[in-house]
């Protein structure tokens, strides 16, 4: 165990007044929210607005901590997904300090709740969370910053939508600029950091991102396989070995010393039974990325790691590859499966049968797709299209849907795509006849029909 | 989608000095209150740590030592009964008592490092070195994380440091009730957090279905001219 911090002999009390550095506004402490490794977090009100205050333990109230906070505050938040420090606060007569940040909304739940099985977001919500995580890391890195202490404890998500919020950003630092500070939780640190051979940088963050994503989809750590069963006391030393000195991916086909075991072989699940069950239900393109991240990526920080942009693409494809079995379980239509070959030409060729449902073994009927250039979107009753799909200048824009799937009001057996945008589409049938689809109108989902959304044309295929 | 939760046990043991001097200045009552007040905070920390299954026990020592809470108790069921003070400071006996329970069995083969928090206001009156040796003879005793809290100014800090073992962790000095509250809060939250870390998941045996409100699957209608296809 690393030396624990000194206790907080100066914790705040409800009603305490703090002074914020730049605005000079008084900030009144409300309630204690929780204690962390470096300080305590309270809710507070600042000019009538609810905010959160992180108040450091005395041993963390150092000039260097203050300076790095000042850097973060002046840089400003990379995006609204970060609960970013907005101002320093102090208490008259006390050498201690803290900082203000937005209060996390109630709709967010911890990634730890997901790991404890208290929330069970859909695959679509998980992929959305993954997409937002990758995007947030990209924005952070674009600001010349990197994480020193990212873990499941910092990531929060709205279980319904998959929206994320990233907490505890005070350990963000300037890329590759080492100061003593926190190094992170071995479970989420790149091996070269665990071994103490490198300082946190963008490459090490890419590793942490992969671990977070692996957890999100497999509810298990990618390096915790059957070797766990030999470890009595899972202390820091053991974690350093598993995550730093001798890391081996639990699905490394060329080295099975640490392979994931199924429930029959390890009823405790410590050796990765969760991951064992889930690994095979995802599309090949997801497995490929994880395999890269945790094989070559373990050893080659520069070239071996999966980049945020790659993850972003993978996550958005995952969202578009979900379909449902008759019992409403989500299943993936694997666009990378060899059977499917290259996407069939529009209207021609049928997709091969899908696998039985991974949960209930029911037959999963072959869903229609909307082909968009080289990619596609599976059309389910709850599918929505976003600017991401139909406007190449707005990739990864999922802010407002531009289309949804609807049933014909008079004939529910007829399905259509409804135009939720504010511009008309045009549509062409296989017989060449054309029509305009004004905002608010819908167009039938029929084989071979083409729909032009501005610059992008889609075609409906089986 | 899977549910999670496979975890390792994390044994957390309070060792409370219940010697006669703990009656002075309301010290024992302050300890009782502080431990009781910290329970919700411990629960919160445990909640945030998916891979730890926190189990609490307590030993009280005075003239002799006894389990004050013998059964390893999950935080959800844990409540604190007051310890009352009177007698000597038989720390050695307390350590032997803990050592006997850190043997395998009854301890699990695989676990997280146990946490032992010692609260004392004085000097041991028995062979504490022998007790410490017995504790450190057990593998789980050796790998435990040990915290010492000195209540008041009469404590032999050397003894606490010996108990702690790790020179980078110093005894906490609680010279007034506020400091005691904070030391106990810290030992039961920050230390707990430092010992438990992210985690192994567990698939529940019964599968839960995803509840996406979903009518019948989308199907493709027969092709027709565009004039009929827009509605
Ligand atoms: N902006 C915030 N709004 C609400 N709760 C927060 C906020 N920041 C942190 N918390 C909560 O406060 C507690 C301590 O957080 P933190 O100090 O960040 O922990 P650590 O230092 O261990 O990472 C946690 O329960 C965390 O969820």
Candidate from A126, A239, A328 with C-beta closest to B197:
A239
* Contact criterion met (CB below 8 Å) for A155 and A212: yes
A184 lines ligand 1 (CB under 6 A): no
Contacts of A350 in chain B (CB under 8 A): none
pLDDT of residue A386: 97
- Mean pLDDT within A387-399: 94
Contact B5 A3 (CB under 8 A): no
- Atom number, ligand 1, closest to the C-alpha of residue A153: 23
- Mean pLDDT within A422-438: 96
> Bigger pLDDT: B213 or A6?
A6
pLDDT of residue B191: 82
* Contact criterion met (CB below 8 Å) for B63 and B78: no
Contacts of B229 in chain A (CB under 8 A): 427, 429, 435, 443-444, 446, 449
Q: What's the CA gap between B54 and B52, in Å, rounded? A: 6
Q: What's the CA gap between A415 and A367, in Å, rounded? A: 12
Nearest CA in chain B to A412: B216
Q: Cα(A35) to centroid of ligand 1, in Å?
A: 7
- Location of structure tokens 């509250």: B181
Contact A447 B139 (CB under 8 A): no
Candidate from B209, B230, B231 with C-beta closest to A328:
B209
Ligand 1: residue whose CA is nearest its atom 24 = A34
Contact B50 A152 (CB under 8 A): yes
- Atom number, ligand 1, closest to the C-alpha of residue A39: 17
Q: Give the pLDDT band (50/70/90) at residue A64.
A: confident
- Location of structure tokens 């050592």: B99
Residue A194 CB neighbour total at 10 angstroms: 25
Contact B223 A446 (CB under 8 A): yes
Residue B228 CB neighbour total at 10 angstroms: 12
Nearest CA in chain B to A331: B1
- Mean pLDDT within A71-95: 93
Determine the 3-state secondary structure of B56 from DSSP.
strand
Q: Give the pLDDT band (50/70/90) at residue A367.
A: confident
Q: Which CATH number fits domain B12-227: 2.40.37.20, 3.40.50.410, 3.40.449.10, 1.10.3720.10?
A: 3.40.50.410
Q: What's the CA gap between A267 and B6, in Å, rounded? A: 10
* Contact criterion met (CB below 8 Å) for A269 and A229: no
Nearest CA in chain A to B196: A235
Q: Does B202 touch chain A (CB under 8 A)?
A: yes
- Atom number, ligand 1, closest to the C-alpha of residue B193: 22
Which of A16-30, A69-83, A206-220, B217-231 is predicted least confidently? B217-231
pLDDT of residue A150: 86
- Location of structure tokens 């639990």: A250
pLDDT of residue B142: 95
Question: In the predicted model, is pLDDT for residue A314 greater than 80?
Answer: yes
- Give pairs for A297-304: CB < 8 Å, separation 24+: A297/A206, A297/A207, A297/A210, A298/A191, A298/A247, A298/A249, A299/A191, A301/A190, A301/A192, A301/A198, A301/A203, A301/A204, A301/A207, A302/A203
pLDDT of residue A5: 43
Ligand 1: residue whose CA is nearest its atom 15 = A36
Q: Give the pLDDT band (50/70/90) at residue A352.
A: low
A34 lines ligand 1 (CB under 6 A): yes
- Atom number, ligand 1, closest to the C-alpha of residue A40: 17
pTM reported for the whole predicted model: 0.88
Contacts of A447 in chain B (CB under 8 A): 220, 223
* Contact criterion met (CB below 8 Å) for A192 and A184: no
* Contact criterion met (CB below 8 Å) for A279 and A218: yes
Residue A268 pairs in a beta bridge with none
Q: Cα(A321) to centroid of ligand 1, in Å?
A: 35
The pLDDT mean for chain A works out to 89
Asked whether the ipTM of the predicted complex exceeds the cut of 0.90, the reply is no
Q: Give the pLDDT band (50/70/90) at residue A353.
A: low
> Bigger pLDDT: B153 or A108?
A108
A39 lines ligand 1 (CB under 6 A): yes
Residue A371 CB neighbour total at 10 angstroms: 19
Q: What's the CA gap between B17 and B89, in Å, rounded? A: 7
Residues above pLDDT 70, as percent of chain A: 91
A51 lines ligand 1 (CB under 6 A): no
Q: What's the CA gap between B34 and B20, in Å, rounded? A: 19
Contact A413 B219 (CB under 8 A): yes
Question: In the predicted model, is pLDDT for residue A368 greater than 70?
Answer: yes
Question: In the predicted model, is pLDDT for residue A152 greater than 70?
Answer: yes
* Digitized pLDDT (tens) for each residue of chain B, 231 residues in all: 556 657 899 999 999 999 999 999 999 999 999 999 999 989 988 888 888 999 999 999 999 999 999 999 999 999 999 999 999 999 999 999 999 999 999 999 999 999 999 999 999 999 999 999 999 999 999 999 999 999 999 999 999 999 999 888 889 999 888 888 888 988 888 788 888 752 222 222 222 222 222 334 566 677 777 888 888
Nearest CA in chain A to B184: A7
Six-digit token string for A207: 């590793």
pLDDT of residue A54: 95
Q: If you ran DSSP here, which 8-state letter would residue B48 be given?
A: T
Ligand 1, pocket-test mutation among A4, A8, A34, most atoms within 8 A of CB:
A34
* Contact criterion met (CB below 8 Å) for A229 and A258: no
Q: Cα(B75) to centroid of ligand 1, in Å?
A: 21
pLDDT of residue B189: 82
Contact A327 B209 (CB under 8 A): yes
Contact A235 B112 (CB under 8 A): yes
pLDDT of residue A222: 98
The C-alpha R_g of chain B, in whole angstroms, comes to 25
Contact A415 B1 (CB under 8 A): no
B residues 150..189 contacting A (CB < 8 A): 166, 168-169, 172, 178-179, 182-183, 185-187, 189
- Mean pLDDT within A402-406: 97
Q: Give the pLDDT band (50/70/90) at residue A262.
A: very high
* Contact criterion met (CB below 8 Å) for A417 and A458: no
pLDDT of residue B215: 36
């Amino acid at each position: 165990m690393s030396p624990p911090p000194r206790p907080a002999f100066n914790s705040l009390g409800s009603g305490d007044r703090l002074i914020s550095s730049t605005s000079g506004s008084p900030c009144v402490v409300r309630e204690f929210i929780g204690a962390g490794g470096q300080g305590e977090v309270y809710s507070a009100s600042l000019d009538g607005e609810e905010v959160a205050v992180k108040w450091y333990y005395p041993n963390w109230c150092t000039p260097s901590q203050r300076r790095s906070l000042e850097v973060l505050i002046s840089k400003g938040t990379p995006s609204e997904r970060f609960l970013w420090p907005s101002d320093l606060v102090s208490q008259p007569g006390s050498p201690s300090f803290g900082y203000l940040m937005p209060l996390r909304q109630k709709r967010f739940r911890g990634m730890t709740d997901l790991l404890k099985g208290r929330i069970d977001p859909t695959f679509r919500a998980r992929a959305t969370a993954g997409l937002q995580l990758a995007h947030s890391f990209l924005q952070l890195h674009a600001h010349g910053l990197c994480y020193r202490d990212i873990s499941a404890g910092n990531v929060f998500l709205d279980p319904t939508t998959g929206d994320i919020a990233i907490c505890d950003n005070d350990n963000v630092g300037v890329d590759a600029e080492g100061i003593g500070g926190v190094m992170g939780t071995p479970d989420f640190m790149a091996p070269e950091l665990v071994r103490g051979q490198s300082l946190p940088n963008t490459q090490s963050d890419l590793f942490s991102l992969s671990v977070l994503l692996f957890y999100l989809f497999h509810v298990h750590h990618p390096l915790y396989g059957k070797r766990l069963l030999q470890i009595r006391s899972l202390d820091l030393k053991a974690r350093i070995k598993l995550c730093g000195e001798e890391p081996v991916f639990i699905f490394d086909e060329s080295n099975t010393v640490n392979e994931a075991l199924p429930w029959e072989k390890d009823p405790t699940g410590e050796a990765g039974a969760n991951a064992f069950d889930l690994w095979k239900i995802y599309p090949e393109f997801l497995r490929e990325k994880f395999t890269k991240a945790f094989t070559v990526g373990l050893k080659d920080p520069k070239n071996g790691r999966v980049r945020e942009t790659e993850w972003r693409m993978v996550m958005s494809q995952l969202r578009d590859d979900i379909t449902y079995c008759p019992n409403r379980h989500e299943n993936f239509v694997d666009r990378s499966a060899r059977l499917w070959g290259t996407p069939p030409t529009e209207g021609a060729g049928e997709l091969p049968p899908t696998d039985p449902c991974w949960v209930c073994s029911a037959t999963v009927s072959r869903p229609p797709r909307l082909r968009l250039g080289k990619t596609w979107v599976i059309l389910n009753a709850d599918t929505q299209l976003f600017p991401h799909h139909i406007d190449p200048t707005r990739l990864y824009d999922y802010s407002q849907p531009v289309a949804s799937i609807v049933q014909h009001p008079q004939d529910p057996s007829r399905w259509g795509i409804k135009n939720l945008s504010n511009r008309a589409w045009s549509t062409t049938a296989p017989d060449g006849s054309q029509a305009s689809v004004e905002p608010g109108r819908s167009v039938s989902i029929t084989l071979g029909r083409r729909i032009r959304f501005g610059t992008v044309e889609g075609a409906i295929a089986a | 989608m899977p549910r999670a939760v496979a975890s390792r046990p994390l044994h957390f043991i309070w060792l409370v000095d219940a010697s006669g001097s703990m009656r002075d200045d309301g010290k024992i009552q302050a300890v009782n209150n502080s431990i009781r007040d910290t329970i919700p905070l411990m629960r919160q920390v445990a909640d945030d740590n998916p891979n730890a299954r926190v189990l609490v026990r307590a030993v009280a020592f005075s003239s002799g030592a006894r389990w004050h809470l013998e059964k390893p108790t999950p935080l959800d069921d844990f409540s604190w009964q007051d310890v009352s003070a009177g007698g000597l400071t038989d720390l050695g006996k307390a350590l032997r008592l803990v050592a006997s329970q850190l043997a395998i069995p009854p301890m699990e083969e695989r676990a997280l490092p146990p946490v032992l928090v010692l609260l004392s206001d004085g000097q041991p009156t028995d062979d504490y070195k022998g007790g410490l040796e017995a504790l450190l003879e057990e593998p789980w005793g050796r790998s435990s994380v040990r915290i010492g809290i000195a209540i008041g100014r009469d404590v032999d800090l050397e003894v606490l440091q010996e108990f702690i073992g790790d020179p980078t962790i110093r005894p906490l000095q609680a010279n007034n009730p506020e400091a005691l509250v904070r030391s106990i809060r810290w030992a039961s939250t920050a230390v707990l957090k430092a010992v438990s870390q992210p985690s192994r998941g567990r698939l529940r045996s019964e599968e839960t279905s995803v509840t996406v409100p979903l009518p019948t699957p989308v199907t493709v209608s027969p092709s027709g001219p565009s004039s009929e296809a827009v509605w």
